[in-house]
A and B are shown apart, each in its own frame.
Chain A
Amino acid sequence: MSRFFSFTRLRALLSKELIQMRRDRITFAMMLGVPLMQLMLFGFAINNDPKGLPAALVAPTQDRYSRAIVTALELTGYYRFTHPHASAAEAEALIARGDVSFVVTLPSDFGRRVDRGDHPALLIEADATDPSVASGAVSTLSTVAAEALLREKGIEAQARESAAQSLEVVVHRRYNPEGVTQYNIVPGLLGVILQMTMVMMTAMALTRELERGTMENLLSMPATPLEIMLGKVLPFLGVGAVQVVVVLVAARAIFGVPFLGPLPLLLLGVFVFVSSLVILGYLFSTVARTQMQAMQLTFFYFLPSLLLSGFMFPFRGMPGWAQALGELFPLTHFLRIVRAVMLKGADTAAVAQPMAALTLFAIGFAAFALLRFRRTLD
């Protein structure tokens, strides 16, 4: 039996952890049920490109032009005219209350000016308190409205002609041409769900022993810090593996997320990611004195990692310092791997960098945890 590591001792620690895990029914059920629930909830709920937003129309004289514009706007899918006959004052109240996201105002002489070939104007007011709500709807706007008018006047040919003369811009929305939010969210959720359970569960590892008074006994027996760490952490790799299977199968079967890259590469990425998470959680548990503290530490970590990793908001949209901070979270790197492999069909070389970063995290956290581990009750 080696001085620093023995499989007999590790096996004893592992089987003890597995038995405890199995006996704690509620926690065990949560570890398996929560991922599926969260995946369903967030997978279906989150949408970065909201459509069918309520709108009000202020048009004192309703004619074929105003109808054409309304139809064109509704056809984009972004607008739903819930208040088609609003007065200016009513519309103002509606948007202030948040009952509508848009107010489309056509001046009373709108039709006349179109017929005259004058420069007709229409006003669209968007509730931009949440910029992402307004952006998609507004971006489609100018061309849609103009084309609608021209079509209504029966001068489509002229319209096409004028379009042909101007610069042609070709846009390919690659990897996700229809802009399906779920393709982006569901793979990301894999990372977020794993992070949630893995870090929290392992953060309890040592603090639970401390609080139950079993730490004193454990320390008085000849287990080494490395064995204790592995004993605490390895069972959760197994739990993580189950969660991964659940989420990936659901991603494919329920959300139809494309799966272009090699599966082994993705699984390797998941493995390194989960390793770094469980060791991070264990590191928390070497720092905290009580389970409460461990829980708080975990939550202090969760929020920034969620918001700065690029899971919710575009990573590139953050200022440099925030991006630098974001690089410190394993989740950031995992999101790059999982999105690249699943959506872009990336190969090993393409994800080598985030993979290396995750490996470094795992090793660094482990070294730090072993240093932090208190062999005594001091």
Chain B
Amino acid sequence: MTDEPAIEVRGLVKRFGGRAVVDDVSLTVAKGEIAGFLGPNGSGKTTTIRLMCGLLTPDAGEGRVLGHDILTEGRAIKREVGYMTQRFSFYEDLTIEENLRFVAGLYGLDDARRAVSGTLADLGLTSRRGQLAGSLSGGWKQRLALAACIMHRPQLLLLDEPTAGVDPKARRDFWNEIHQLASGGLTVLVSTHYMDEAERCHRINYISYGKLVAKGTVSEVVRDAGLTTFVLSGRNVTRAAERLEGMDGVDQVAPFGNTLHVVGKNADLLRAAAERVAKETGCDLSPSETSLEDVFIQLMGKARDNMQ
């Protein structure tokens, strides 16, 4: 094995009914990295992931996943990739154990019985092995799906919004497990909406309306966005918000509890506007760090402008 990246795709295009759902996306994920894949709903995350694991054929573009050509070597890719779908896609009318056995059989695992019982033990599901998958709660379904994806010891995990509808505790456990797997050399590409999850990734890729609009580490992405943020606090933040909305230099106004985050691209204009409003409404003004969420909201707005 060389230092070839786990994923290297260039210029991927996928159209559905004439509309480019994925538009010229290039993506590189290094081995052993946890790459975050972010973007609003319908931005093309799922489609991109499906293109990479051979579930969809790209209309244009090329690339290699684990050294295999995505256009011609789908079969080899499938064997070495674990893909966890957005929607629970195991058999609800099969028990946990039967689902795992099915997966073990399809991957032709040498000692399927041991793999299944080992996985059941890892999950802490040995006592509930006979329970139908359909009767599991969201968190357990997600754990089962993850377990089934990694049972054949893939080199690359593609996780499509794995934590949607899962409680915070389960989410944290899930991420701990992902980090543990990555430290064992597994490469992970995970799509998500959640900012706290994005911050748990080594690198993030932001896709919007089919286009990749930002990539890098979290601090790189925040820095590259070049945004300035102020926080207003006081009793009159609601009135301040009304005043600030639409003023020159103010791109985002977002209330956070008793404070107000004001974000803008042009630092001078933003400062002027914020100071004026702070004085008028008697709020305190202080500079603040720009958060990843602020960046994403900004990127989303920009991408929409590009579309129109």
Q: A-side interface residues toward B, CB under 8 Å?
A: 1, 3, 6, 8-9, 11-13, 15-16, 19-20, 23-24, 212-217, 219-223, 375-378
Answer whether residue B103 sits at the interface, using C-beta atoms and an 8 A cutoff: yes
Among A11, A221, A375, the most chain B Cβ lie within 10 Å of the Cβ of A221
Which 3 residue pairs of A and B lie closest in terms of their CB atoms, listed nearest first?
A12-B105, A217-B89, A220-B83
Among B56, B81, B92, B102, the most chain A Cβ lie within 10 Å of the Cβ of B102
Stretch with Cβ within 8 A of A (4 or more), from B71-79, B187-195, B242-250: B71-79
Bound Cα distance A3, B85 (Å): 25
A213 B105 Cβ-Cβ under 8 A:
no
Nearest-CB distance from A377 to chain B (Å)? 5
Interface residues in B72-129 by Cβ distance below 8 A to A read: 74-75, 78-79, 81, 83, 85, 87-94, 98, 101-108
Write out the residue numbers on chain B whose beta carbons fall within 8 Å of the beta carbon of A377: 50, 55-56
Q: A213-B85, A219-B55, A220-B83 are contacts. A13–B106 as well, Cβ < 8 Å? A: yes
By size class, the interface of chain B is 20 to 34
B106 A220 Cβ-Cβ under 8 A:
no
A23 B90 Cβ-Cβ under 8 A:
no
Among A9, A13, A216, the most chain B Cβ lie within 10 Å of the Cβ of A216
B107 A214 Cβ-Cβ under 8 A:
no
Write out the residue numbers on chain B whose beta carbons fall within 8 Å of the beta carbon of A15: 101-102, 105
Chain A to chain B contacts (Cβ below 8 Å), 23 pairs: A12-B105, A13-B102, A16-B91, A19-B98, A20-B94, A23-B94, A212-B89, A212-B91, A213-B85, A213-B88, A213-B89, A214-B89, A214-B91, A215-B89, A216-B50, A216-B85, A216-B87, A217-B83, A217-B89, A220-B83, A221-B78, A223-B106, A377-B55
The count of A-to-B residue pairs whose CB atoms sit within 8 angstroms is 82
Write out the residue numbers on chain A whose beta carbons fall within 8 Å of the beta carbon of B105: 8-9, 11-13, 15
A222 B98 Cβ-Cβ under 8 A:
no
B85 A217 Cβ-Cβ under 8 A:
yes
Query: CB-defined interface of B52-81 with A at 8 Å, one 1/0 digit per residue?
Result: 011111000000000000000011001101
Write out the residue numbers on chain A whose beta carbons fall within 8 Å of the beta carbon of B91: 16, 20, 212, 214
List 14 additional contacts besides A216-B85, A377-B55; criterion CB under 8 Å: A12-B101, A15-B105, A16-B98, A19-B93, A213-B89, A215-B89, A216-B87, A220-B53, A220-B78, A220-B83, A222-B107, A376-B54, A377-B56, A378-B57
Q: A6-B108, A8-B105, A377-B50 are contacts. A222–B78 as well, Cβ < 8 Å? A: yes
Bound Cα distance A214, B145 (Å): 12
Write out the residue numbers on chain B whose beta carbons fall within 8 Å of the beta carbon of A11: 105
Nearest-CB distance from A211 to chain B (Å)? 12
Write out the residue numbers on chain B whose beta carbons fall within 8 Å of the beta carbon of A13: 102, 105-106
Query: CB-defined interface of B153-190 with A at 8 Å, one 1/0 digit per residue?
Result: 00000000000000000000000000000000000000
B90 A214 Cβ-Cβ under 8 A:
yes
Write out the residue numbers on chain B whose beta carbons fall within 8 Å of the beta carbon of A9: 105-106, 108
Nearest-CB distance from B160 to chain A (Å)? 10
Q: A216-B89, A376-B57, A378-B56 are contacts. A221–B103 as well, Cβ < 8 Å? A: yes
Bound Cα distance A1, B112 (Å): 15
Write out the residue numbers on chain B whose beta carbons fall within 8 Å of the beta carbon of A375: 74
Nearest-CB distance from A57 to chain B (Å)? 65
B56 A222 Cβ-Cβ under 8 A:
no
B93 A20 Cβ-Cβ under 8 A:
yes
The 8 Å CB contact of A1, one of B81, B92, B94, B108, is B108
Write out the residue numbers on chain B whose beta carbons fall within 8 Å of the beta carbon of A217: 83, 85, 89-90
Nearest-CB distance from B147 to chain A (Å)? 13
Write out the residue numbers on chain A whose beta carbons fall within 8 Å of the beta carbon of B94: 16, 19-20, 23
Nearest-CB distance from A71 to chain B (Å)? 66
Write out the residue numbers on chain A whose beta carbons fall within 8 Å of the beta carbon of B74: 375
Interface residues in B236-272 by Cβ distance below 8 A to A read: none
Bound Cα distance A47, B205 (Å): 73
Chain A residue with the shortest CB-CB distance to B51? A376
The 8 Å CB contact of A221, one of B88, B92, B101, B107, is B107
Write out the residue numbers on chain A whose beta carbons fall within 8 Å of the beta carbon of B87: 213, 216
Write out the residue numbers on chain A whose beta carbons fall within 8 Å of the beta carbon of B108: 1, 6, 8-9, 222
